Structure 1
Amino acid sequence: MHILKAGLIKSGNFWLHTILHNIIDYSDFQYESFIQNQPIYEAAKKLNLNLFKGQININFLDITKNAVFYRLGNVFRYPVDDIDGYINSCSVVWTHAPMSSNVVNIIQKFDKVVYIVRDPRDVLISWSNFVFSPYMQRYYPYIISDETDPETYLNNNLKTIVSDWMNHVGAYLKYQKYLNIHFVFYERLVHNFDRELDKILEYLEIDLDEKARAEIKEKVSLNSMKKDSPNHIRKGQLAQWVDILTDAQKEEVLEMATPLLKLLNYPLNSQIDTLPELPEKFPENLNLPDGKVVLLKPSNH
């Protein structure tokens, strides 16, 4: 089995990747890895890639409109000349790639595609803290301009981050049915992990007994992952935005993202009484902040 895990950064990607990796380990499928069989892998073991446990083992794919690259953190990036061979040598591949015609073509080569979504207001907070982490300060110092703290960064970059969220999530929604993408909501994973794990297993067509499911749940719990990867796992809480964002910031997010928040059943105020979910019926189109109108019912495929 060859699985593509996709999502915007700071949406719970590491958590979902760890879940999928464990599912493969406990299944009848043999885990395969492209990166572990590359010459750079042994050299990379000596590098200080300490964002999270096992980072060096991630099969990470950058997909642009015209090219595909595999990479190791921010220290190595190389073109993939044979994408079919690459996919066939990987059990789970991680990408943050925004949707494009090239992404559509590559997604169709995978057996399964799992996409994770998180409330953009919590993404804002997690993203703004992450850019000040030791890892980001070392490998991506240019991301910060005049900001000196997460609060200032969040305020200065709110529109950009929310726009990225809308464009990323909205574009994958467009192809959800056509590409048979399984959407996982971060909030639902936190609220009822067992149920969401069942849904993932059903989508992957993998059957695991109760013992295996319980062991996976323990291995991917917040406490376990925080202990293994303290530089990457911060709080993992739901609706942090209610207490952290200012009223003006909350309103600014709503001015931009209300249509997509409503479509996915995210709360529009500070009273958190619903969980996100895919709509039963998709609208014909969705306006995104880049000025494009995304047709959510592609008719030419």
Structure 2
Amino acid sequence: MTEVATSDQLLVVIDPVARQTDGEAVRIAKDVLSGGAATKVCLPDGPEEFARALARRGSRRPVVIGDDRALVRAVSFLHRQRELAGCVLSVVPVGSALSVARSLGVPTGTVAAARAVLDGTERRLDLLVDDSDGVVLGALRIPPLPVFRTPEEPEPSADPAHPWLRTCQSLVRTLVPSRPTRPPRGPSPVAAPRPGPSRLRVEVDGVTLVDLDQPVEAVSVTPGGAGAAAVEVRPASVGAEAAPLLARGRLVTVSGADFRYRADAGIWGPVRRRTWTVREGGLGLTLPSSLPSSR
């Protein structure tokens, strides 16, 4: 870890969503940062200008003011430019989606986060890089597959505790003449999806943790520090809850039927196969000096 000098020149990139969501927090962050360092402020109107500002940062240290999406956008751009290893990024979280920044150790209070930019410490954190050149900062999760009800399957009762309500509703329907209905156009509406188990093969460093013959409820992969990811698979259970399967490794491959996964601030897929590799110390982030040196 390296102490960050307050005399550094800062490039402050303010995400447009942050300006719209909480202009007062943005103003406070700007005041604190400009009071402690030489700053150049950029107000991009969209992702392209956001990326262009980072590309033209020169020797200035980039500071992103925004939510998790803005943080992931900055890290993804620097990774694609192969500049992430030599860059120290800072972030002042502003917005409603801040769980990724919080999990990395960034204060979510505006003043505390801005002070950490000025007085904090550079810490190298592990991240995940997939085989499509995407990055994951926090945990990724594969949720259950959606299962659709058939038209013959009844909707669950909205108020099972009051059967008399059904009787009253039936009586009203017999007294009120029904309106003529037009025949439906196009396909019938599809019922809302319900969660269901997935059939996936999960391999950690080439060793199969679970195979296609074992349905699973969920899979999670998290950068666990020391160059390894923590993998948890929850098998589908019948009756008593099945114990989760745990493993640690540098290379994690998930394959099987089309699946989607949640990672940081988005949902990705569907894909049939994806491999994530732990990039040890791949992200340099300015954090408060009092935090431990690794996640």
TM-score, reference length from structure 1:
0.26
- Whose radius of gyration is greater, 1 or 2? 2
Structure (1 or 2) with the greater strand fraction: 2
Structure (1 or 2) with the greater helix fraction: 1
TM-score, reference length from structure 2:
0.26
